[in-house]
Amino acid sequence: MKRSFVILLGILLFPLAAKAHGPTPQKGLESITINAPVEKVWDAVKAFGAIADWHPDVKESTGDGKHESGGIRTLTLHNGGQLTEELDYYSDKDHEYSYRLKKENVEAFPASSYSMEIQVKPGETEGTSIVTMKSRFYRGDTGNTPPEKLNDEAAVKAVTAFLKNGLDGLKSKLEK
């Protein structure tokens, strides 16, 4: 009798548990070829706190000047919102760094958590560079029934646009 009750309870509760799965991590990956050598491109992106110099979605950026794990920058987006990010890894030698969202603001950017990486490598032809930006992130509302503006689709759209716009802005700045 007890076993039958446990099985029946499991059958009744399984559909509820199957629907209550929460968010899944999303990923973004964008690359662009820039007609400029690696050192010139790296010089433009290596200052962690100066992303506003080349990213058109960022109105203003400030940083603490640290180019090592723990370095902090604050971005003011054109929509007026602010995000705070922290460096996890920085390599001048490998022309790359990675960072993550330290202080979220889903009103400004519909992701509750993200990590991003930027890397500059030599292109296929001399004097060119390939810049890759990638991200792993979660939607703005991590509950089971997020509103449309904070769901997976909104987060993917926002992160993809941020990556593409940044790469396009960098290319435009360096190929003038």
Lowest mean pLDDT among 14-23, 28-37, 65-74, 150-159: 14-23
Q: How confident is the model at residue 17 (pLDDT cuts 50, 70, 90)?
A: very low
Write b or e for each residue in 116-138: b if 16 or more Cβ atoms lie within 10 A of its Cβ, otherwise e. bbbbbeebeeeeebbbbbbbbbb
CATH superfamily, region 26-174: START domain (3.30.530.20)
Q: How confident is the model at residue 3 (pLDDT cuts 50, 70, 90)?
A: low
Average pLDDT of span 41-55 = 97
Check if the beta carbon of residue 159 is closer than 8 Å to that of residue 115: no
Which tens digit of pLDDT belongs to each residue from 65-119? 999 999 999 999 999 999 999 999 999 999 999 999 999 899 999 999 999 999 9
- What is the residue extent of each domain of the chain? 26-174
Q: What is the pTM of this model?
A: 0.86
pLDDT at position 34 is 98
13 burial via Cβ count (<10 Å: 0-12, 13-18, 19+): exposed
Q: How confident is the model at residue 18 (pLDDT cuts 50, 70, 90)?
A: very low
pLDDT at position 21 is 62
pLDDT at position 23 is 84
